[in-house]
Structure 1
Amino acid sequence: MRVFIAIEFNGELKEFFNEIKLQAKDLSAGGNFTHKDNIHLTLKFIGEADEKSITAIKEAMKETVEMIKSFTLLTKELGTFSRKSKHILWLGVGGEMDKLKTVYNELEDVLDRRGFNKEERPYSPHITLGRQVIIEDLDSIKDKIRMEEREIMVDSISLMESKREKGALVYKAIYRCSLQ
């Protein structure tokens, strides 16, 4: 089973992110855009995991959230990670970033103690809207897309399964842990 740990969004936020994505899609020359139901904020990519590993991940998630209270993030501007002529298009987050980083760091430490490798790259929280996106001018797209700041209430973290169903990539929550 292929899994990752993420912050999920409610339906209203997914609609908001989807509208931004659709505007960006119209303004780009192509790409693979994230399905509305798959929009999330990744905390930790795990990859392939067996049942024993899934149990350890769930225990790590429970331990991570024991002393962490709910917090609020805010949507920020669009950005990209460049890969030659194609880009990963994302929406940035702000707000209570110290609390987000606490969740991330605690999760990394607890998973590390259970035998999962720590991420070597610095954590760069973002909401992926599209991959392999062909954009000529990101600033032009930013100017044309109607952006407004939205609050993201973070009150749980989720273990997500990534699988293909009828040829489509689907992310499904298989376990959730509520923050305090």
Structure 2
Amino acid sequence: MRTFIGIDFPRKLKEQIVEAQSYLKSISKKGRWKYIDNFHLTLKFLGEIEYDHVEKIKEVLTKNLESFSSFSLKIFSCGYFKGSKNALRVVYLKPDGDLDKLNNLYQIVEDSLYSIGFEKEKRDYTPHITIAQDVILDEPFDKFKQYVENYKFDLIPVESVILFLSEEIDRKRVYTPLFEIKLK
């Protein structure tokens, strides 16, 4: 089963992200748009794992995160990963706030999973919230950036870490929580 470890958002914040996504749609020729229930912040993509790994992952994360306290982030800007020709492969929102604490959380997750046989990520951690893929814009990206930077998003409460199952159901990507570890 395909899985990742991430941080989920309250519904109201997801609705605010949809508003920003709708503005991006309005200045785009085309794109693939992330579904409201799929907005999240990934800590580690695990890929395909066996079902019997779930309990091991839960045990090691529960143990290593038992004294980690909750914190908040906020969306402050946006960016993109370049694609082919004039398409933006990924358009995302950028979190800000207690990024040191987020990076510490990321490192604990990385080290915990490495201790039970998962490979460490080779790239630097770039926290981002994907809202669209394969976007071709009608207007300059700066117009969307200005919109995002002026929007008053709610805070992102980082109160738990979740192992999500990622599967395709009726041609739609669906993320289902397998377990959640509450932070202090």
* Range class of TM-score, shorter chain: over 0.9
Q: 2:122 aligns with which of 120, 123, 129?
A: 120
| Distance in 1 (alpha carbons) for counterparts of 2:51 and 2:145 | 43
Segment drifting more, 66-75 vs 142-151: 142-151
1:83 is aligned to 2:86: no
Gaps of 5+ in 1: none
Partners of 1:77 and 1:147 within 8 A in 2: no
TM-score, normalized by length of structure 1? 0.95
Aligned residues: 180
Paired AA for residue 158 in structure 1: I
| Distance in 1 (alpha carbons) for counterparts of 2:57 and 2:47 | 12
| Distance in 2 (alpha carbons) for counterparts of 1:132 and 1:29 | 10
Matched with 1:169 is 173
Partners of 2:61 and 2:109 within 8 A in 1: yes
After TM superposition, give the deviation of residue 63 of structure 1 in Å. 2.4
| Distance in 1 (alpha carbons) for counterparts of 2:54 and 2:25 | 35
Partners of 2:13 and 2:153 within 8 A in 1: no
Percentage of identical aligned residues = 36
Q: 1:152 aligns with which of 140, 143, 156?
A: 156
Q: Write the deviation string for residues 41-89 of structure 1: whole angstroms up to 9, x where unpaired.
A: 0000001111222222212321232111000101111211111222210
Partners of 2:16 and 2:153 within 8 A in 1: no
Partners of 1:7 and 1:156 within 8 A in 2: yes
| Distance in 2 (alpha carbons) for counterparts of 1:144 and 1:126 | 17
After TM superposition, give the deviation of residue 149 of structure 1 in Å. 4.2
SS, match of residue 30 in structure 1 = strand
Matches within 5 A, 1:124-135: 124-135=126-137
Partners of 1:30 and 1:133 within 8 A in 2: yes
TM-score, normalized by length of structure 2? 0.93
Paired AA for residue 13 in structure 1: L
| Distance in 2 (alpha carbons) for counterparts of 1:116 and 1:63 | 17
RMSD of aligned alpha carbons: 1.3
Gaps of 5+ in 2: none
Paired AA for residue 69 in structure 1: S
Paired AA for residue 59 in structure 2: E
